[in-house]
Amino acid sequence: MASEKFNPNRLSFDEGLERIRRATEEAGIRLEGRIFTSRDEGADSLRKALAVSNVPDGFRKYQLPVYLSERSQMFISFAEPDIHTPEHSHDEGDGIRFIAGGSIIYEGKELTAGDWMFIPRGQSYSFDVGPNGALMCYCYCCCCA
């Protein structure tokens, strides 16, 4: 339901955080201290619960069920096909990885264009790059990718 006059400032930042808290609580999904991706169980229900109706005609939008609690840095990364990323962690802050093209495989789940994964501070993980490589956008708090 798009409005005649688009106003993206309908909710305050704090109201947006409360919306995430309420949606995850109602879904019975605990996100703290674990990696969570758009392909995990419960992600579809959160996407529906966090749908945003305040968008211009022709758009669909939903709020991700995560937030970065500190200053952030953004990175774009291009990965060659079939590369294994060794286990590592980002110890200075939470991160979120958006897949813009190609794919990565994390714990048997293939994340493709439009998918994302949230990585809490200090959580070790690794992944494999898919057969067509990957184009990713990283947003990390206070650390380098």
Q: What confidence tens digit (pLDDT) does each residue in 79-124 have? A: 999 999 888 888 878 889 999 999 999 999 999 999 999 999 889 9
Whether the Cβ atoms of residue 93 and residue 145 lie closer than 8 Å to each other:
no
- The answer to whether residue 79 sits within a structural domain is yes
Whichever domain contains 132, its CATH number is 2.60.120.10
pTM of the model: 0.75
Contacts of residue 52, defined as CB under 8 A and 6 or more positions apart, other chains included, come to 61, 62, 63
Residues 53 and 112 in one domain: no
Residues 78 and 132 in one domain: yes
Whether the Cβ atoms of residue 142 and residue 90 lie closer than 8 Å to each other:
no
Number of domains in the chain: 2
- pLDDT tens digits, residue range 18-52? 999 999 999 999 888 899 999 999 999 999 999 98
DSSP annotation of 10 reads S
Which residues span the domain enclosing 24?
Answer: 13-62
